[in-house]
Amino acid sequence: MKEEDCIFCKIANGEIPSTTIYEDDTFRVILDLGPANPGHALILPKEHFRDITEIDADTAAKVLPLAAKIGTALKEGLGCDGFNVVQNNGPAAGQTVFHFHVHIIPRYDADPKMVTWTPGTYEDGEMEKVAEKIRAAL
C-alpha cells in the first residue's frame, strides 16, 4: 500500500526521480541526498510501512541480505573500509521520513566514528530492574 503524501512511497515507486543503484519487486535503493559520505544509500521498500514495527515478514526477511549486498558493493565499488547499517524509528531516534528505510553508509578507516555513544553505568540492581521491565513487555 502506498500513502498519499509520502515522499519515499513516490520515490520507491518511481513517481519522483531518484539516483537508483538497485531495484527489485520489493525495494528500490537510492543515494541519500544529504550523504554522511558519498555513496550513502537508502533501502526503501516499495510498500509503505511507518517503521520497523510495521514491516511485514517478507520485507523483514529480505532487508538484511539486501543491506549486506549493498554494503559489499560499496566496499568493492568505492573502496570503503567498512559500512554502517543504520535504521531510525521515531523522532526521538532521529527518524525524519516516516516510511521505513535503512541507511547503508560507506566508512573509511580515517573517518571519525559516527554511530557512537558515551558508555553509561547502572546503579546497583538497576540493570536487573530494567531487564525485568523489558521482559514483561515482550
How many angstroms separate the CA atoms of 103 and 45, rounded? 12
CB of 37 to ligand AMP, least distance (A): 12
Is 20 an interacting residue with respect to ligand AMP (CB under 6 A)?
A: no
Q: Is 40 a catalytic residue?
A: no
Which of 20, 37, 84, 95 is close enough to bind ligand AMP by CB under 6 A? 95
Asked if 107 and 82 count as a contact pair (C-beta separation under 8 A), the reply is yes
Q: Calculate the alpha carbon distances from 72 to 2, 105, 126 in Å.
A: 30, 11, 40
CB of 26 to Zn ion, least distance (A): 14
How many angstroms separate the CA atoms of 30 and 48, rounded? 16
Contact partner, 48, from Zn ion, ligand AMP, none, Cβ < 5-8 Å per class? Zn ion
Q: Which is nearer to Zn ion, 51 or 111 (CB)?
A: 51
**How many C-beta atoms surround the C-beta of residue 102 within 10 A?**
21
Residues 6+ apart with CB under 8 A from 56: 47, 49
Is 99 an interacting residue with respect to Zn ion (CB under 5 A)?
A: yes
Is 28 an interacting residue with respect to Zn ion (CB under 5 A)?
A: no
Active site residue ranges: 101
Residues lying near ligand AMP in the complex (CB under 6 A): 7, 18, 30, 32-34, 42, 88, 94-97
